Amino acid sequence: MGSDDLGCPVCLRSDATRRTIESAVPMKYNGSFENRTNLDSAYYIACPACGEFVVTHMDDVNLKSPPERSRWNAVHLSALLREQSIRPLPKFWLRDGMDPYGPLERTDLAPISLDELLTRWPRTVPERIDRTLCNLARLSPTGGHHILLDTRDTALTFAGTEKEARYHVTALLRYGLLDGKIYADLTPSHFALTPEGWARFEELTRGRSAAENPVFVAMWFGDKDEKTLMDGVFHKGIVPAVGRAGYLATRVDFEEHNDWIMDRVLGGIRLAPFVIADFTGHRNGVYFEAAFARGLGTPVIHTCRKEDLSKAHFDTLQLNHVLWDTPEELEMKLYHRIVGTIGRGPHPPQRDSK
């Protein structure tokens, strides 16, 4: 192992530890004469600043190379990786550049491209202060827990410099959201969230799309002849696939035609970590719900019975649908699509829900 194989490829700290995972990720090789799938080795990085994440050997080299590094902001990337490590979510498989990889078979990683991750950087100062509070709340197992906070740890506080980190922490102290004292000599000190701090954390995290919330399922409920099939699609196809991937599934039952049903639909989509839209039967409601989710920036997985796809609307026909003949086929394919494109969820996998 040469010195190139040491340290963190994002912040370049030499005290980060790494573990090689052999044949970790599938790599597509699209040569001019062949199209095959290889496996690439990867590293599991544990960095005191950036937290824990996975990179392939190839991306590790790219991330550390000087010309490549000028393309992205290491401070931002470090903070965003750290935030994911603190949340109760799968660790990121950080992918640099184009998309040379096939669907991920591993169940414990959430693949994300470097550019996509960087779009999550909080753009305003109040947002950075809020996200700092959320990090500190998630590091506190109970109320009254004291966190040892070092303002040199700028990734934790979404800061570029120690001065900025101290500013964010001081703001939380002044708002009465945090209890503790910052020392002039930068000595690490203990802080605890105040009751107001916990209330603010709840306010910030409640009513938002989160992996812990139920996945929203938009689908046709079936006419007389198709009702049994579509019930099977939900209960034997979608629910077990979502459960096995570590999420919960919900659908709003259109049988109850109440006035407030649309509010429930829109609320459910707003909270969902992602939406599954099954286009079998081509109901307008499904197109509407999928489009609403896309507008919110929520990922949508499209599924459809094979014989129904040709009737799909031109705008969505070009999208990559999970095609199925039976609920069992849908279960298997959908599970892999969720894990491959969104990553594993925070709930324990449900294996016997069929």
Residues that bind Zn ion (CB under 5 A): 8, 10-11, 47, 49-50
- For residue 85, what are the contacts with CB-CB under 8 A and spacing of at least 6? 50, 51, 52, 53, 91
Residues linked to residue 95 through DSSP beta bridges, in sequence order: 113
Burial class (CB in 10 A: 0-12, 13-18, 19+), 99: exposed
DSSP per residue, 206-254: TTS--TTSPEEEE-----TTTHHHHHHIIIIIIHHHHHHTT--EE---T
CB of 83 to Zn ion, least distance (A): 13
Rounded Cα gap, residues 129 and 132, in angstroms: 5
Q: Which CB atom, from 55 or from 290, has the smaller least distance to Zn ion?
A: 55
CB of 56 to Zn ion, least distance (A): 17
CB of 126 to Zn ion, least distance (A): 26
Burial class (CB in 10 A: 0-12, 13-18, 19+), 132: buried
Q: Which CB atom, from 28 or from 120, has the smaller least distance to Zn ion?
A: 120
CB of 92 to Zn ion, least distance (A): 13
Q: Which CB atom, from 154 or from 350, has the smaller least distance to Zn ion?
A: 154
CB of 120 to Zn ion, least distance (A): 17
CB of 90 to Zn ion, least distance (A): 19
Q: Which CB atom, from 74 or from 193, has the smaller least distance to Zn ion?
A: 74
3-class DSSP assignment, residue 69: helix
**Size (the chain), residues:** 354
Q: Which CB atom, from 157 or from 194, has the smaller least distance to Zn ion?
A: 157
Sheet with 147-149: strands ordered across: 147-149, 189-193, 178-180
